[in-house]
Structure 1
Amino acid sequence: MFAIRLVDVPGAGTHVLPTDNSGVLAGGDDETTELVRSADEPGAAGAVQVLPRPLRTPAKILIVGVGSGGEAGWRAAGAAAVRAVKTDEPFTVVLPEGVEPAAVRGLAEGIWLAAYRFREAVEGPRSVEVTLQTANPDGYARSVAEARATAGATWLARDLTNTPSSLKNPEWFAAQVLAEAATRPGITVGVREPEQLRAEGFGGILAVGGGSATPPRLVELSWNPDGATRHVVLVGKGITFDTGGLSIKTRDGMKLMKKDMGGAAAIVAATLAAADLNLPVRITALAPLAENAVSGSAYRPGDVITQWDGTTTETTNSDAEGRLVLADVLAYAVARLAPDVVIDLATLTGANAVALGKRMAALYSHDDALAGDLARAGDAAGERMWRLPLPTDYVEYLDSDIADRHSSPTKGAGSVVAALFLAEFLGGKVGSWAHLDMSAPSWIEKHEAELTKGATGWGVRTLVRYLSA
């Protein structure tokens, strides 16, 4: 990631002047004021007006809108600014006097997030000099540091998710986590390989990964700082490629399934960011990793699987695999880790997109306070979610004639029923659990605001905000 500098003198290159809905500029003169006056909506969040100034310094001024002036508007302004300049063109944002620290955090996040690109190995990293000009550089240092940690973690989650599955398998993913953890004091990581998974009874993970030439893994990543007063367990679905198994997907349904480990990427990256920020909360991140493949050793529709807690699951659809690996890990977390809160993120169901579209995750929780905290964190971070119900009368959909429960009933309410299945494994902690079904917003087809085409890293920013509270 390139650096964003805080200085109290004018920086080089293009100057960026923020303006709000009222048209008030930071550091504007008569020329720029007249340009704003002639524009239709100069202060709309992310709107850009360009003022060329040949043979003068600066040679170009960008006027970017911050909307009503909240953090989201400043994030949109940062993204718009970095996209409006050439790849290696330096620019300076002239901050208004007295701007809130949260606004500067949003601005820096927008700049870094919109500058992301995956093909760095081919094109080289984006090199750009970005300066924030203010009379109070020290007053915003923490805001920029927080933005850098969060954006860096989001870049990592995007990189992991964008990596093709010809490279990315459970062993590879575990190796990336080990490498990242090695650079951070206070982070510990353990990786369970197939023999240990079998010995400990992780039947769901073994079943889903049984058809692949690359066996499954379970990554357990921990941040346990001195003085921590609560323990949050984060669980993320880590299917490194999903063919659907013997219930095979169509070609179109399969082509983006390298993203089916987006939940695991998010919870790992958020935990690393918590360590970077030295957050005073204990975190255990659990990433069950498997490739759902087609072979003679793949699990079959109609099989009965024994989960980690000893209960059995009938599965008649091998394309409902994510809930099986999550069930093992949720049961293990509750029984062995003594969490205060359990949050899982999963690219779990296409029904999420049917209900809420491409930019919003589904939130499930019996805990009003936890649901509210996550929703507020998501709003602040720019990652929207909507709370959906967990109706008790739908639990009967999970009834099975031959096992303790059915994993993939066909009675509708796909996202809701998947959440109800997961709830079965929380035991006494079901009242301190939240599930985020984030398949739809984990990927975007074009650049939009701070998001770049491809993996979005959805969930990292929300989790860091939640853990920081």
Structure 2
Amino acid sequence: MLAIRLVTAPERPDALVLPIRPTGNAEGDGPRATLESSLPAVADELLAEAAALVPAARATGRAGEVHVHLRPGRTPGRLLLAGVGEADERGWRAAGAALARSAADETHVTVAVPGGAPAASVRGLVEGLLLASYRFRLRAADEAPTLTGVDVVVTDPAAYDEAVEAAVVTARMTRLARDLTNTPSSVKNPQWFAEQVEAAAAGEPDLHLRVRQPDELAAEGFGGILAVGGGSASGPRLVELDWRPVGARTHVVLVGKGITFDTGGISIKPRDAMKLMRKDMAGAAAVVAATLGAAALRLPVRVTTLTPLAENMVSGSAFRPGDVVRHYGGVTSETTNSDAEGRLVLADALAYAVADLKPDLLIDLATLTGANAIALGTRTGALYSENDQLAADLLAAIDAAGEAAWRMPLPADYVQYLRSDIADLYSAPTQGAGSVVAALYLREFTGDLRQRWLHVDMSAPSWAERDDAELSRGATGWGVRGLLRWLATLA
């Protein structure tokens, strides 16, 4: 990960970045962008040169725009003009992401920040740099990244320490979630995932970990997890990670779907739909990373994370369409489709959280349905809750963090689709509205916490097909940033 330093003056100005903003004159004859004012650590002659370059480059100042100018034989040798848009956190995050790519061949970059800039702007810059510079590679010989360090020039470094710490922890945990999700399923199975959580939590006395093995799951009645994992040679697990800070007055349970590979089971997927199913545990990765982030930031909120882990495979011991599964607590599901496996493992975890953990708030994240992408595209999660305040608070945190979600309905007249003739519920009714009905199914397991529960279907935004702003191609770590922002507001 890039090394970020706060400094009061450029110390290694081989490549110097100066921010530019739109003038609001996009349609007129005058300049469309202007150099940010109040850059006290930059020499006047350099500022004058940069100001003259802005119109010559036809710069617009939009967030994420970068113009590179060479200055042979002079210092700095390269001058980069970076658009920051409205110069808010979002604009600076886009600028940081663009710089991570446009300056990838540099060894070191210095970024000048206007005097008195809000702490949120510096946080956005640092997050953008760290997130966009992420790469996941499994190659015989892979070169180390050229860009290893960024100095951020500010007038008062101490004023930005907290913002930079939050940005670094958020980026580090998002990168962890990306690593976990990107790891191929030839390596990643339920046991492996549990071991990664154990290693990441080691050394933190206020983090408590319990990993339930298959025999414990059977003894305690986690029938959904056992059914989905029953077809694999790699047995299922339930990881319970608990951050218990002294003095916490709010207890949140986060549940994340952890299917380490999904063939669809006997309702087998076609090849193209199966080849990226290593990402079907992105919800588990996100909630684990968010909990570890809460511990790293010492947030005074108790957070318990439940990740039901299973590999949904095809074999003689795999569960079948038409089987009836008895979940934790006794509710039964008729499994109409073995490729609707995620809701079965989540049902167990939700029922356990309600009955045994009794939190104040209950949230689950899951790569649950393809209908999420059909309804909302590839960057937006589908959010469901009956609690207006909880939904509004989490949506605001997700937006502030640079992620996206949209609140979806829970229609009462769709509940009839869940009623099975031989069990309490159908796991996957066929009447359509796939993401909505899946949310309604999960709601059946929230008991007394129904009014304090929230579900996010984040299948589509968990993966990026190309580099896009702060996202790198592959796993996005979606949900980590939004959850950490939200947990910080609870504190």
Match of 1:283, SS?
A: strand
Q: 1:107 aligns with which of 105, 125, 129?
A: 125
Q: Deviations over 1:405-439 (max 9, x none)?
A: 10111001000000000000001101001100000
Aligned-pair CA distance for 1:2:
2.8
Q: 2:336 aligns with which of 302, 309, 316?
A: 316
2:225 corresponding residue in structure 1: 205
Matched, 1:372 2:373: no
Aligned-pair CA distance for 1:185:
3.3
Q: 1:239 aligns with which of 252, 259, 264?
A: 259
Aligned-pair CA distance for 1:88:
5.0
Q: 2:362 aligns with which of 319, 342, 353?
A: 342
Equivalent pair of 2:238/2:306 in contact (CA under 8 Å):
yes
1:42 corresponding residue in structure 2: 60
Q: 2:91 aligns with which of 59, 64, 73?
A: 73
Match of 1:313, SS?
A: strand
2:28 corresponding residue in structure 1: none
Q: 1:61 aligns with which of 63, 66, 79?
A: 79
2:185 corresponding residue in structure 1: 165
1:123 corresponding residue in structure 2: 142
Letter in 1 for 2:270: T
Matched, 1:283 2:284: no
2:428 corresponding residue in structure 1: 408
5+ long unaligned stretches in structure 2: 24-33
1:454 corresponding residue in structure 2: 474
Cα distance between partner residues in 2 of 1:58 and 1:361: 43
2:31 corresponding residue in structure 1: none
Q: 2:107 aligns with which of 50, 67, 89?
A: 89
Q: 1:138 aligns with which of 158, 183, 187?
A: 158
Letter in 2 for 1:285: T
Match of 1:260, SS?
A: helix
Change in Cα spacing, 1:467 to 1:124, as seen in structure 2 (3 Å) is: farther
Cα distance between partner residues in 2 of 1:282 and 1:414: 33
Match of 2:9, SS?
A: coil
Aligned-pair CA distance for 1:86:
3.1
Match of 1:123, SS?
A: coil
Letter in 2 for 1:167: V
Please tell me the root mean square deviation across aligned C-alpha atoms, in Å.
Answer: 1.2
Aligned-pair CA distance for 1:11:
2.8
Q: 1:185 aligns with which of 202, 205, 210?
A: 205
Cα distance between partner residues in 1 of 2:114 and 2:271: 52
Cα distance between partner residues in 1 of 2:71 and 2:465: 35
Letter in 1 for 2:168: R
Letter in 1 for 2:486: Y
Aligned-pair CA distance for 1:87:
4.0
Cα distance between partner residues in 2 of 1:90 and 1:312: 59
Q: Deviations over 1:144-167 (max 9, x none)?
A: 110000000001000000000000
Aligned-pair CA distance for 1:120:
7.1
Letter in 2 for 1:403: A
2:27 corresponding residue in structure 1: none
Letter in 2 for 1:77: A
Matched, 1:18 2:11: no
Q: Deviations over 1:446-467 (max 9, x none)?
A: 1110000000000000000000
1:217 corresponding residue in structure 2: 237
Equivalent pair of 1:32/1:51 in contact (CA under 8 Å):
no
Q: Deviations over 1:108-132 (max 9, x none)?
A: 0000001111127752653512100
Match of 2:338, SS?
A: coil
Match of 2:35, SS?
A: coil
Q: Deviations over 1:162-181 (max 9, x none)?
A: 00000000000000000000
Cα distance between partner residues in 2 of 1:144 and 1:399: 51
Cα distance between partner residues in 2 of 1:383 and 1:97: 28
5+ long unaligned stretches in structure 1: none
Cα distance between partner residues in 2 of 1:17 and 1:183: 41
Equivalent pair of 1:88/1:129 in contact (CA under 8 Å):
no
Equivalent pair of 2:18/2:79 in contact (CA under 8 Å):
yes
How many percent identity over aligned positions? Answer: 61
Letter in 2 for 1:20: R
Cα distance between partner residues in 2 of 1:185 and 1:52: 51
TM-score of the aligned structures, taking structure 2 as reference length: 0.94
Q: 2:351 aligns with which of 319, 324, 331?
A: 331
Aligned-pair CA distance for 1:37:
2.1
Letter in 2 for 1:463: L
Q: Deviations over 1:341-382 (max 9, x none)?
A: 001000000000000000100000000000001110111111
Cα distance between partner residues in 2 of 1:40 and 1:413: 47
Q: Which moved more, 1:119-128 or 1:27-36?
A: 119-128
Cα distance between partner residues in 1 of 2:121 and 2:136: 27
Letter in 2 for 1:213: A
Match of 2:324, SS?
A: strand
Aligned-pair CA distance for 1:235:
0.2
Aligned-pair CA distance for 1:445:
0.7
Cα distance between partner residues in 1 of 2:426 and 2:277: 24
Q: Deviations over 1:226-258 (max 9, x none)?
A: 111100000000000000000000000100000
Match of 1:144, SS?
A: helix
- How many equivalent residue pairs? 469
